[in-house]
Every structure is written in C-alpha cells, then in structure tokens.
Structure 1
Amino acid sequence: MAIRRALISVSDKTGIVEFSRALAAQGVEIISTGGTASLLEKEGIPVIGISDVTGFPEIMDGRVKTLHPAVHSGLLAVRDNEEHTKAMKELGLDYIDLVVVNLYPFKETIAKPGVSYEDAIENIDIGGPTMLRSAAKNHAFVTVVVDSADYTGVVEELQAGGDTTLETRKRLAAKVFRHTAAYDALISDYLSKLNGEPLPESYTVTYEKVQDLRYGENPHQQAAFYKKPLAAEGSITTAVQLHGKELSYNNISDANAALAIVKEFEEPAVVAVKHMNPCGVGVGTTVHEAFQKAYAADPTSIFGGIVAANRTLERETALLLHDIFLEIVIAPDFTQEALDVLMQKKNIRLMKLGELNAPKERKPEWLVTSVEGGMLVQQSDVHSLTEADLKVVTNRKPTDEELKQLLFGWKVVKHVKSNAILLAQNDMTVGVGAGQMNRVGAARIAIEQAGEKAKGAVLASDAFFPMGDTLELAAKAGITAVIQPGGSIKDEESIAVANAHNIAMVMTDVRHFKH
C-alpha cells in the first residue's frame, strides 16, 4: 500500500506548512478544513475542501464538518475485507490513508484568567478526537499523527518507501489514544470541579512528562518526572533550572518538601531539608539572617541537603551557601552576583521559582498517592492558624515571645514525618524528632539534638499526647511552652504535668499527621 490521501486539520499549525508541502511533493492528495485549508492554499499547496469530500457544507459554525460517513468510512474501512471494499465501491467512497489532527486548545482556554464557561465548552473538540480514534483504531492501514514532533519521521518513511511501517503506525496509534485520553481527562476534571464533584465515582487524571530520570529512589528502579497540565506557578514542576546536574527522583521529592515548608512564611525564611524532613528552618528580617539560623539549627545534617528560600537570593547568602555541599538551592530568583558565586560549583542545581503566593492565598490541591492496586486522593494540608485560634489549657499563659515561637513551630511540625516533635527558639528550629513509632521517642531525639538549646525552647507536636510522659521529658529539658492538637482521653493528665512544671500549653484542635 501507499499513502495517497491525507486529511489535515490542526489548531496548532507549527510545522504544518512544511509537512504538507513534503506530502504534496510525494503526490499525496490533501483534504483539509477551515483555517488549515486557508493556510495551505495561501502557501500554494493544493487542497481539497472537506465539503468536496462529504458533499455537505460545514455547518453550525464549523461544529459539524468531518462527522460524516465519507470521512469515517475512508478511515475505518478494513482494506483486506471484501465486504468493506465492496461497500466503498458501491457508495463511491475513497480511502483516507493519513490523518493529521491536533485538537481545539481546551487546556490553554481554561488556563486563561476569568475564562467563561461558554468559552471553555466551545473549545471542546468533537470531530478531531473522533477522526483520531477512527484512524488509530484502523492503524493496520491508516497512519495517524497528533504531534508535530512526528512529522519528520513520517515524511522520511514516506520518501523511502511510499508508506509508513506497521511498527510506526502502532506507535503513533498508541500516542493518539494517550492524547485523547489526556484531553478527555482535562475536560472531565474541569466539569467535575465546576459541578462540585472533586471525588467522583471514577477518578481520571493526566500528567505531562517533564523528563526521564536516571532512576527512582534507588538505582534499580525506573522513574520519570511528570507534571499536571495546569501546574501552579511557584512549584518544583514549573521551576526553571539555571545551573547544575540533572535532577534526580530524590532531589525532586526533597525539593517539593522544602518548598511546602518555606511557603508557610510571610517573612523571609530559609528551609534546609534532608530525606523529606526539615533539618533546619529559620526566619529573619533578611534571607541572609534566615539562612544563618537554618544552618545553625543543624550544621551536620544540612550536608548534601536542599535549601529553599522564599525571597530572592543575593550574594551575601550565596557566599555562605558556596562553602557547603548542597544538592539544590531553590529561590524565587537569584541576583546575578549570587549566580556568579554559586555557579562556580559545577554540580549544584539552582532552581528559579518565580513569584510565590502569600501563605493566606494558598488553595488546597488534590494529591494522589499510589498504593498497590489503587490510589488515595486527598486535599493538601494548607491549614493555618493564628493566635486567636489557640486555646490555653494550663494555668500559665504563654508569653508573647512564646506565642510567636509556638506559631513558628506549628508551621514547621506539620511538615515533619509523624510521629513528630519539634523544638523552636529565636525563630529557628533547634531540635527535630521525625517519623518515630511513638511520640516519646520523637521527643527524645528532638531534645537530644537541641542539647542546651532545649532550655527555654518551645515544643510543637503534630498530634496529641496519649499520656503525660512526653511532657515529663519536656520539663526535664527546660522547655517552657507546648503547642499540640489535644483530643486525647488523657488530655487532663498532660495538662496536670504541664501545670506541675509551670509549662504553658495551648491546643489547636487540628492534627497534622504526615505519613
């Protein structure tokens, strides 16, 4: 067989003129519609209008033009089936050997600020997906192209042998069904959310590949990095890498964890993360001051870690970063002087985020977590609280400074793996106990790490105390105030221990488990 007739109808016209000219040079007859036909004619490429094929005009503002037996018979006919061949001849129909279609820009439309419902609906393509699916189903005989990146390969095969190989047609058909599935997933997600159904009876998601990764968590695991089609700005998926080695799977996971923490703060903040947990967090009047606190919190664990800032990174801070082995530095932006310093290190990855939304402007996203044979879906934890939300449960109220540190600790502990205990003082973390099987164990680790800095520090717990033993440890270490959710049947025991040691304790009625 050979490719004799092609149907071309594209919204994205990248490369279509050159591709069509190459087809025409091979003697391929081109059928086209609307704006694509006008463009090709303007470029001097012979075109047959779709109405000349169907014998029916394009109607309803172009909504109905290719939904016709003359089109879909030519696409779906099985060429070595006698009944199909007979029907085509009796009806005076001809085959279509190549389909080149890309779809109405639905994603780009709904990405526009303030897009109307009517505009979104009008940009749902019907004829395009139908042609693509017909051609892809019949890939034994029909070549179908949905991506301009495949134009060159198709032309080369056509020039070499007059047709594409079955292997190519299979590959392109699979790509088509991925494309139409992703397109439909976007539409269903848009309409489901519009109708107040964020968790419908079937949950269809789509992601776009950012890059293949060398491996996953470990070298024997295959991996790739994908992003949502409409990923929010200020995320690791939309960040621009300015320098350094290619990101790894673990780099991306840690960077995402660091960003989640640094976004909690209005004031200049710096976060150091290692293995998905913060090893140091500091806030200050400048990024330079915030980094000094984050570094002092744990100068050992930061080695080989990831640092994220919520302000532009300047030369003074870059000089401090330069002296530490770090995998990634992330910031909304870098001054040129900072880049000049950091780019002296060949492998360090520098990621530019762009502008970050204020914490109060954050909206929860739906997060998907895989489990064997399925997945879990939940909203992201963007809950925040103020001093007015706190309930003092002890005889002594926290001082203003203790309240400030308690709120700081609460912002961070929600991002520490459960069971989590965090100690804070002077706008910085001084001890972190993460991922322990019991809360006392987490407290011991945090207190041991803090050492003398535990005296006068405050303690934040991601969940309630099942008994008073953690408070006893806190008292021995010199901790003066505690923030915790409350809700245990033994809350009164913890309150009694706090009162006995003159510890101020507040409850939030909010838990922040992070598994």
Structure 2
Amino acid sequence: MAVASKRIPVPDLVPVKRALLSVSDKTGLVAFAAALASRGVALISTGGTRAALAEAGLEVTDISDVTGFPEIMDGRVKTLHPNVHGGLLAIRDDAEHRAAMETHGIEGIDLVCVNLYPFEETVAGGADYATGIENIDIGGPAMTRAAAKNHAYVTMVSDPADYDAVIAALEENDGQVPLSLRKQLAQKAFARTAAYDAAVSNWFAGEIGESAPAHRAIGGTLAEVMRYGENPHQQAAFYKTGEHRFGVATARQIQGKALSYNNINDTDAAFELVSEFDPVRTRAVAIIKHANPCGVAEGETLKAAYEKALACDPVSAFGGIVALNAPLDAEAAEEIVKIFTEVIIAPDASQEAIDIVARKKNLRLLLTGGLADPRAPGLAVKTVAGGLLVQGRDSGVVDDLDLKVVTKRAPSAQELADLKFAFRVAKHVKSNAIVYVKDGTTVGVGAGQMSRVDSARIAARKAEDAAEAAGAATPLTRGSVVASDAFFPFADGLMAAVEAGATAVIQPGGSMRDDEVIKAADEAGLAMVFTGMRHFRH
C-alpha cells in the first residue's frame, strides 16, 4: 500500500549543522571533514572513519554516544538505531515529526557521507564465500537510502568525487546546500545502492549455481559520457560493472581522442578475439571493423602477425581497431601507424612503442594490464523491448573440445592447426560466420549474412580482392581450411567452400542432413571435423 504525501513544501536551501561520516574509501575524507568542521558543522562518525578523523586532530563524536549503545557483533550493528535513522528521516517542517524528535531526544542529521564496504573489489579479487558475505554492507546502504529519500532536508554524499561540489555549495550559500544539488546527490546515491545490490545478488546467484534468478539486476558505475551513441542522434554513456576482466574497462588510455561508443564496442570485440590466442605459444594480432574481424594472424613476432592480418583485407582495415595478445613493441608499432587506425589495444607497451604511437596524436592507445580469460564465466546482456536477455558468456574454447573426424580423410597436422585457428576466429564473427584460414592467417571472412552459403561466397570474394591487391595470381583460399560457426544445413555452403579451394572443414555438426554434408565432403576429398559446439554471435 502506497504512503500518501503530506504535501509539505520542500525548502530550497537547507543548513548543514550536523554531519555523519562513515566511509570505506577514505580518499579525501580528512580534507572534506575539516572543511565541514571549519564551518561549525558537528561531526559524528564510526569505527575506522572516526579514528582517521581523530588522528587528524578533528573533534568527532563517536556513533555510540549518539545511540547510547556500543558497536556490537564485530561492527555489524552500529548505525541501525532510531537516534540515527530518526535523525535522517524526520521531515523537519512536519509538526508530528518534530514532536517525535523532541519526545525521544532525536537530533537531526543534515549531511551523510557514506560509501560502502568494497564488496565488488573483494569478490573480484577471488575472495571465498564467507569473506564475500562479510563484505556485504547493511548499515551503509540503509543510511544512504534514508538520507537520499529525505533529500528535502538531508544532503547525501556517496562519492568522494562530490566533496568539492558540496563544500563549494556551502561556501556560496552561507552554510546551506541548495535543493538542486541535494536532488542530484540523492539520485546518485540510489543508483549506487542499486548497483551495489546488483553486484551482491549476481555474485550470490553464481555462488549457488542459480543461472536464472527470479529477479536479475544489472548495475554499473559511470566511466564516461560520450558525445553520442552509434549515431549522432543517440545519447550514450559507458558504465563499468566492476567485473575483473582485462579489456576496455580496465585499460589505461595512454593517448588519443576520447573513445566513442562504436570505438568501445569494436575495441572490446577485438580484444576478446585476440585473447583467444595464448601469448606463450604465439604472437597474434586481430584487426576489427564494425565488431567483425577483417584480419587475424599468428606470427613469430607481432610485426609478422600484423602484416599477415593486414594482408587479409587491407581495404577494410583502414580506420580499424588493432588488438595484440602481447605487449606492443617498437617494430610492430612502426608498421601499425603506417595506415589510419582508430585504436590500438594491448596488454602493455614498451616506452619506445608508446613514443612511436605518439606521432599520431589522435590514435588511441589502450593498455589493459592483461588478457581476457576466454574460459572465464560471466554474463552477456542484451536489451529487447521491455526486457533483458541474459546469458552466460561464450566460454567455449576449441582446445578443450573433443574433435571428431567424420570424413574418410583425416586432416593433416597443418590443416588441424589451421582448423582450430579458424574456429577460434569464427567464434567472434557475426553469424552466419564463415572463416577461411591458411598458415595461421585468415584469408577470407564472411560475416552476418542471412544464409551460410552467402557468407562462404563473400569470404571467398574478399580473398580474391586481397589477392588482386597483393598482385597474387590466385587467392589464398586455395589450399586453405574453413570454419563455420554453426552446422551446414545443406551441402551447398560446403560446396561453396570447395569452389573457393578449401581442403578441410571444421563445424559443429548436428544438422538433420549431416550425412548428406559428410558424403559431399568425402566426394570432394575434404577432411572434416565436428566440434559439437556452436558459436552463434548475433
């Protein structure tokens, strides 16, 4: 049942005379508290926060002196008390509320500065179940929500980044905070507790093996407001979820223009793809355009891998994203900057490479700190009208699969290596996906077509264009292998690959016409293996 409002007018300016500070992140705390104290604001605090303020020489009242009750149960219970929440929730201009405050000796609290236990960081660091539970904050969110709800009279500060704005408002308004700022801070506080609860509930679901909980919350922290989204008429922003996965969200941008919505989407696709390649085994480079690879290659060096990847489709690579599975070195950097590139993303870079990239002032260089683990579980979320589609991340890795040879001819060792390479790439190509590979290099990529046979033909045509650009007599699909992200429903797609010159095929299998497709492969002298795993990517 909804509670009716008493329609009491909300004041514009509200003085801050008494503040409660209880923070986990103590960044800027002492300076903020000192600025409040200098304006005559009485400080109340808890535990470690109180100790930090007292050590700085500030006069601070312990929360136990307000509640008349000591902190108990290892600090689990300290602020959950009427003297605290009454002081936060009281409507100061309501006669009944004022009477209740006087009757029970409750003093108003005009400002609350709370940030929460570092739950997200704790579980991202691999904490065990008991540690995760202990880092679920209870009193902090309760105070945050109470103060934010009563923003008509209380200033709720949940982010150290807002300390300066609050102090500036107090200075400009003779110790008072305007309603406009109180509203902004309240919205931010509710968003913070929502994201926090989302992190807790999703972690909890994972811990108990619940893949489809009755309620699913997705939360994030604003990382960047963008000029626009996919198109100029769309608003956009980038939020970080707190998942500890190396990639765009963890990257340091060394130089270049701000990333756009499309840059982030494409760069994520590029880095997820290149992370499939173990840097201990090989150097790999992926070049991405519109979230699809236009060239992927392995090599003994990053430079060699880049040159091979570029040769796959040099036209599409112009203005693309380049991802590397090892630290960018000077030799590779010199090659990459020869053509217009939007973003380079790598685990790290040498100073010499950074200096080379710096010659192109608009080229973004992102260093992630590591590679994404292709086997790690996680959530993938898409919006639909009125809802969310949530699934587990595609963490299937071809090296872990039991490959089954289904044709009379088995692939050679080189064909098998290329087949695995091709299937790694196909996992990251929009469906329907066809990928031709030869000698550890993509030589044709067909993406996002309505029919698989069209993808096979488009990929072959791209290979012909690349051969012409390189002055080669025949396209590199001659003698290549081919990967399909899903089964061939008919033999026509397979025969298109044969026409392109493929000698071996890797596909999931599982079609009602598998026997027909296998027969066609045998008649063409192909080697074909089934993976048993599909990699649709819509």
Kept after mapping to 2: 8 A contact 1:32/1:50: yes
Q: Residues 445 and 459 of structure 2 are in contact (CA less than 8 Å); yes or no, is this contact kept in structure 1?
A: yes
Where 1:101 maps in the other structure, the secondary structure is strand
CA pair 10-513 structure 1, distance change in 2 beyond 3 A: closer
**Aligned residue runs from structure 1 range 369-408, under 5 A:** 369-386=382-399, 389-408=402-421
2:120 maps to 107
Pairing 1:209–2:222 present: yes
- Deviations 1:124-168, CA, capped at 9 Å, x for gaps: 222222222222211111222222222222223323333211112
User: 3-state SS of the aligned residue for 2:75?
Assistant: coil
Equivalent residues in 2 for 1:57-72, closer than 5 Å: 57-72=70-85
Q: Which residue of 2 aligns with 1:124?
A: 136
Q: Name which of structure 1's ranges 102-111 and 447-456 shifts more when overlaid on structure 2.
A: 102-111
Shift in alpha-carbon separation, 1:344–1:81, aligned structure 2, 3 A: same
Q: In structure 2, give the amino acid aligned to 1:284.
A: G
What's 1:471 paired with?
494
> What is aligned with 2:193?
180
Superposition RMSD in Å: 2.0
Match of 1:273 in 2: 288
1:453-473 superposed Cα distances (whole Å, 9 cap, x missing partner): 222111211111222222333
Q: Which moved more, 1:76-85 or 1:470-479?
A: 470-479
Letter in 2 for 1:514: R
Deviation, 1:177, is 1.1
Letter paired with 1:443 = A
Cα distance in 2 for residues equivalent to 1:132 and 1:286: 53
- Seen in structure 2, the aligned counterparts of structure 1 residues 76 and 263 have a Cα distance that, compared at 3 Å, is same
Equivalent residue number for residue 154 of structure 1: 166
Match of 2:471 in 1: none
Alignment-derived partner of residue 444 in structure 1: 457
Q: Is the 8 A contact 1:215 1:221 kept in 2?
A: yes
Question: Which residue pairs with 2:4 in the alignment?
Answer: none
Alignment CA distance shift 1:482-1:49 (3 Å): closer
SS in 2 for 1:407: helix
Q: Deviations over 1:384-439 (max 9, x none)?
A: 23497222222222222222221211111121111111111121111111111111
Residues in 2 aligned to 1:473 and 1:38: alpha-carbon distance in whole angstroms = 73
- 1:317 aligns with 332
1:39-438 alignment, distance < 5 Å: 39-113=52-126, 115-159=127-171, 160-233=173-246, 235-266=247-278, 267-356=282-371, 362-386=375-399, 389-438=402-451
Report the 3-state secondary structure (helix = DSSP H, G, I; strand = E; otherwise coil) of the residue aligned with 2:382.
Answer: strand
Gaps of 5+ in 2: 1-13, 465-473
Secondary structure at 2:528's aligned position in 1? strand
For residues 286-329 of structure 1, the C-alpha deviation after alignment (integer angstroms, 9 at most, x for no partner) is: 21221121011112111111111112222222222121111111
Distance 1:120 1:421, change over 3 A: closer
Rounded Cα–Cα distance in structure 2 between residues aligned with 1:487 and 1:116: 40
CA contact (8 A) 1:268 1:284 kept: yes
Structure 2 counterpart of 1:513 = 536
**CA–CA distance in 2 between the matches of 1:472 and 1:9?**
68
Q: Is the 8 A contact 1:387 1:403 kept in 2?
A: no
Conservation of the 8 A alpha-carbon contact between 2:345 and 2:368: yes
- Number of aligned positions between the proteins: 511
Distance in 2 separating the partners of 1:387 and 1:237: 27
Tell me, in whole angstroms, the C-alpha distance in 2 between the residues paired with 1:290 and 1:206: 38
In the TM superposition, residue 193 of structure 1 has moved relative to its aligned partner by 1.6
Amino acid at match of 2:23: V
Match of 1:504 among 527, 535, 538: 527
Maintained 8 Å contact 2:245/2:372: no
TM-fit CA distance, 1:225: 1.1
How far 1:250 sits from its partner (Å)? 0.9
What CA distance in whole angstroms lies between the structure 1 residues aligned with 2:206 and 2:199?
11
Give the partner amino acid of 1:491.
D
One-letter amino acid matched to 1:482: V
Q: Give the Å deviation of 1:372.
A: 1.5
User: Secondary structure of the residue that 1:161 maps to in structure 2?
Assistant: coil
Moved more, 189-198 or 403-412: 189-198
Partner residue, 2:9: none
TM-score by length of 1: 0.94
Distance 1:289 1:474 in 2: 27
Q: Which runs of 5+ in 1 are unaligned?
A: none
Q: Residue 357 of structure 1: CA displacement?
A: 5.8
Structure 2 residue matching 1:496: 3-state secondary structure: helix
Q: CA deviation at 1:247?
A: 0.9
Name the SS for the 1:300 alignment partner: helix
Could you tell me how far 1:221 is from its partner in structure 2?
Answer: 0.9
Residue deviations 1:237-278, cap 9 Å, x none? 111111211111111111111112211222211111111111
Q: Which sits farther off after the overlay, 173-182 or 473-482?
A: 473-482
- 1:9 CA displacement: 2.2
- How do 1:1-20 and structure 2 match up within 5 A? 2-20=15-33
1:270 partner amino acid: V
| Residues in 1 aligned to 2:397 and 2:371: alpha-carbon distance in whole angstroms | 17
The equivalent residue for 2:508 is 485
Cα distance in 1 for partners of 2:33, 2:528 equals: 73
Question: What is the identity percentage for the equivalent residue pairs of Structure 1 and Structure 2?
Answer: 54
The structure-2 alpha-carbon separation of the partners of 1:7 and 1:438, relative to structure 1 and needing over 3 Å to count, comes to same
Tell me the TM-score normalized by structure 2.
0.90
Aligned equivalents of 1:509, 1:40: Cα separation in 2: 61
Assess if the C-alpha contact under 8 Å between 2:245 and 2:373 holds in 1.
no
Change (3 A) 1:318 1:44: closer
Distance 1:61 1:421 in 2: 59
